[in-house]
């Protein structure tokens, strides 16, 4: 599933570079705002969702363009197509999460995609790749926890990490909808199967219990949080009934659990494409900021040991040597 990566000839690139500490660890590229790969078949698609999230955050004066981490314009030599650029953003976001303690990729979270199979609609396994990249390229990262709270089961990364004891997977999803992948379920350490129409109180209680439980069971070096918003009431495919406030609260619960344990967290926004979705994601990011759970200062880094932190900051990944398989 990685032909475009293996085929990349070694070459110089500036796509992966040190991100100035004045930047928010929020990764976004206007490339996100297109339909692609049949994604719209599974999720009714608000093609502009990701751009709108950023617009809302700008309106609220949380971010300005220069302080968001963007994909650099690709040179011809980079052989980059849109998908590759998205992929690079994901790697960048993973590294940023380790450096800063948190990062949000406004986009990403294609969790039905496994690295050997398209998974129906996913072009590539971005969560798998982000974790493998961190394992292989960033010292000090050898255990990861995936917290997948999209309405759908995340069978892609589950198949990828089936026999990998370095990765702990918690997944909460509507048990009756796509993909119902029984084989992949074997990889889930904490399985939270939800009924049709599950509402805030029950949902949040389960999320809290199992996120805390998962992190108490194993303290990872990185959390990848798949924050799908297709749990929202009215989503035609998710079949759950969580309110906008419930989603904001859910993200808060996850970030509190991660930050209080000083575990770096990478959030991806995944599914959920109703008209009001972008506003909810923006509100959630603003709420995290208001509560002091995210800040752009390096002082809030999740890395406790300053020497380790310095080492991480110095270990800029060299894309020209990249050969994830
Ligand atoms: Zn979904």
Condensed to tens digits (0 to 9), the pLDDT of residues 215-271 reads 999 999 999 999 999 999 999 889 999 999 999 999 999 999 999 999 999 999 888
State yes or no: pLDDT of 66 exceeds 60. Answer: yes
- Contact by Cβ (8 Å): 231, 272: yes
CA of 230 to the centre of ligand 1 (A): 6
The predicted pLDDT at position 31 comes to 59
By the 10 Å C-beta count (0-12 exposed, 13-18 middle, 19+ buried), 27 is classed as buried
Q: Which residues have C-beta within 8 Å of that of residue 189, sequence separation ≥ 6?
A: 168, 169, 170, 214, 217
The predicted pLDDT at position 217 comes to 96
CA of 142 to the centre of ligand 1 (A): 28
By the 10 Å C-beta count (0-12 exposed, 13-18 middle, 19+ buried), 41 is classed as exposed
Least confidently predicted of 37-46, 230-239, 269-278? 37-46
Interval 185-190 mean pLDDT: 98
Interval 6-31 mean pLDDT: 58
CA of 298 to the centre of ligand 1 (A): 32
pTM of the full structure: 0.79
State yes or no: pLDDT of 300 exceeds 50. Answer: no
CA atoms 204, 210, 216, 222: torsion sign: negative
CA of 238 to the centre of ligand 1 (A): 7
The predicted pLDDT at position 322 comes to 29
State yes or no: pLDDT of 12 exceeds 80. Answer: no
Query: Which residues have a catalytic role annotated?
Result: 112
* pLDDT per position as a tens digit, 104-140: 888 777 777 776 654 433 446 778 888 988 998 888 9
The distance from CA 256 to its chain's CA centroid, rounded to whole angstroms, is 16
The predicted pLDDT at position 84 comes to 56
The predicted pLDDT at position 172 comes to 98
Q: Which of 80, 86, 81 is nearest to 32 (CA)?
A: 86
State yes or no: pLDDT of 37 exceeds 50. Answer: no
d(CA 54, CA 32): 12
Average pLDDT, the chain: 77
- Continuous segment of H or E residues that includes residue 59: helix 49-59
The predicted pLDDT at position 275 comes to 84
d(CA 41, CA 19): 35
Q: Which residues have C-beta within 8 Å of that of residue 201, sequence separation ≥ 6?
A: none
More confident residue, 17 or 128: 128
CA of 216 to the centre of ligand 1 (A): 27
The predicted pLDDT at position 96 comes to 86
* pLDDT per position as a tens digit, 68-92: 776 444 343 333 444 455 566 667 7
The predicted pLDDT at position 82 comes to 45
d(CA 201, CA 117): 36
């Amino acid at each position: 599933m990685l032909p475009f990566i293996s085929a990349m000839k070694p070459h110089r690139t500036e796509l992966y570079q040190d991100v100035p500490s004045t930047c928010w660890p929020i990764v976004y590229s206007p490339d996100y705002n297109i339909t692609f790969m049949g994604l719209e078949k599974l999720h009714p698609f608000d093609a502009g969702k990701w751009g709108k999230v950023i617009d809302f955050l700008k309106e609220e004066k949380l971010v300005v363009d220069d302080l968001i981490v963007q994909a650099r314009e690709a040179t011809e030599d980079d052989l980059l197509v849109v998908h590759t650029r998205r992929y690079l953003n994901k790697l960048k976001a993973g590294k940023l999460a380790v450096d800063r303690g948190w990062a949000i990729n406004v986009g990403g979270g294609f969790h039905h995609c496994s690295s050997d199979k398209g998974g129906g609609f996913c072009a590539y396994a971005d969560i798998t790749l982000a974790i493998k990249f961190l394992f292989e390229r960033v010292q000090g990262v050898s255990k990861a926890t995936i917290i997948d709270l999209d309405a759908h089961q995340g069978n892609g990364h589950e198949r990828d990490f089936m026999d990998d004891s370095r990765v702990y997977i918690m997944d909460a999803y509507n048990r009756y909808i796509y993909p119902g992948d029984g084989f992949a379920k074997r990889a889930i350490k904490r399985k939270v199967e939800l009924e049709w129409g599950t509402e805030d109180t029950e949902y949040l209680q389960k999320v809290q219990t199992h996120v805390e439980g998962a992190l108490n069971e194993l303290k990872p070096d990185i959390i990848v949080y798949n924050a799908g918003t297709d749990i929202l009431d009215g989503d035609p495919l998710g079949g759950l009934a969580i309110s906008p406030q419930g989603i904001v609260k859910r993200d808060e619960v996850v970030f509190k659990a991660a930050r209080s344990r000083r575990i770096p967290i990478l959030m991806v926004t995944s599914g959920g494409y109703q008209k009001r979705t972008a506003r909810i994601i923006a509100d959630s990011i603003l709420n995290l900021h208001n509560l002091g759970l995210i800040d752009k200062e390096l002082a809030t880094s999740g890395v406790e040991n300053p020497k380790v932190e310095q080492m991480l900051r110095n270990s800029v990944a060299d894309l020209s040597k990249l050969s994830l398989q």
